[in-house]
A and B are shown apart, each in its own frame.
Chain A
Amino acid sequence: MHTPKRLGAIALLATTAIVLSGCSSAGDSEDSGSAAASCEPATEAVELTFTSWIPGIEEVVDVWNAENPDIQVTVQTGPNGNSGTYQNFFTQLEAGNAPDLGQIEYDALPNFRVQDGLVNIADCAGVADAQEDFVDWTWSQVSFGEEDSVYAIPQDSGPMALFYRSDLFEANNIAVPTTWEEFATAAEQVRAAGGYITNFSQNDVNQFAGLVWQAEGSWFENDGTNWTVDLTGDESTTVADYWQDLIDRDLVSTYPGWTTEWDNAYNTGEVWSWNSAAWGANSIISGAPSTAGNWSVAASPQWEAGGESSGNWGGSSTAVFTGSEHPYEAAQFAMWLNTSDESLTMLNESAQIYPAAVAGLELPSLAAGVDFYGGQAIYDVFSEASGQVSSDFVWGPTMTQTYNDVSDGFKAAVSGTGTLSEALESAQTSTIDALKAQSIPVAE
Chain B
Amino acid sequence: MSAPTPAPTPVATRRSALRSSAPKGDFAPKESPLSKAGAMIVMLIFTLYFLIPIWWLFIAGTKSSDQFTSTNPLWFADFNLFENIGALVAYRDGVFLRWMLNSLAYAGGGALLATLIAAMCGYALAKYRFPGREVIFNVVLGGVLVPATALALPLFLIFSQVSLTNTFWAVFLPSLVSPFGVYLTRIFAAASVPDELIEAARLDGAGEIRSFFTVAVKLMFPSLVTVFLFQFVAIWNNFFLPLVMLRDEVLFPVTLGLYGWNSQVNQIPELRGYVLIGALLSIIPLIIIFLLLQRFWRNGLGAGSVK
A residues lining the B interface (CB < 8 Å): 1-2, 4-6, 8-9, 12, 16, 49, 51, 53, 55-56, 76-80, 82-84, 88, 91-92, 94-97, 99, 258, 260, 263-264, 267-268, 279, 282-283, 285-287, 289-290, 314, 351-352
Contact = CB atoms under 8 A, between A and B. Distances in A.
Contact of B263 (A83, A91, A283): A83
B239 interface: yes
Contacts of B305: none
Given A77-B249, A267-B69, A287-B269, 16 more contacts: A1-B3, A6-B259, A12-B149, A55-B264, A76-B247, A76-B249, A77-B247, A79-B256, A79-B260, A79-B262, A79-B263, A84-B259, A91-B157, A97-B160, A283-B269, A290-B70
A282 B166 CA distance: 33
The 4 closest A-B pairs by CB, nearest first: A286-B269, A76-B247, A80-B263, A83-B263
A41 to B, nearest CB: 26
Nearest to A20: B153
B70 A55 contact: no
B240 A279 contact: no
Contacts of B244: 88, 91
Given A1-B3, A88-B244, A80 B269 contact: no
A258 B265 contact: yes
Nearest to B53: A1
B66 A80 contact: no
Interface in B60-81: 65-66, 68-70, 73
Q: Contact size class for B?
A: 35 or more
A290 B160 contact: no
Most buried by B among A53, A79, A94, A285: A79
A427 B4 CA distance: 37
21 contacts: A2-B258, A2-B279, A5-B259, A8-B149, A9-B243, A53-B260, A76-B247, A77-B248, A79-B263, A80-B264, A84-B259, A91-B157, A96-B160, A97-B165, A264-B70, A268-B70, A279-B267, A285-B269, A287-B269, A289-B65, A289-B66
Contacts, number: 121
Interface string B239-259: 110011011110000011011
A83 B259 contact: yes
A96 B249 CA distance: 21
B3 A4 contact: yes
A279 B269 CA distance: 11
A55 to B, nearest CB: 6
Given A78-B247, A352-B267, A8 B1 contact: yes
Contact of A2 (B69, B259, B266): B259
Contact of A282 (B153, B239, B269): B269
B132 to A, nearest CB: 33
Contact of A95 (B1, B157, B246): B157
B164 to A, nearest CB: 11
A260 B264 contact: no
B57 interface: yes
Given A76-B166, A264-B69, A267-B66, A95 B269 contact: no
Given A16-B153, A79-B259, A5 B267 contact: no
B126 interface: no
A263 B156 contact: no
A6 B248 CA distance: 21
Contacts of A94: 157
Most buried by A among B3, B69, B258: B69
A267 B70 contact: yes
A290 B65 CA distance: 10
Contacts of B265: 258
Contacts of A12: 149, 240
Contacts of B166: 76
Contacts of B260: 53, 77-80, 83
A229 B73 CA distance: 44
Interface string B136-162: 000000000000010001001100100
A143 to B, nearest CB: 25
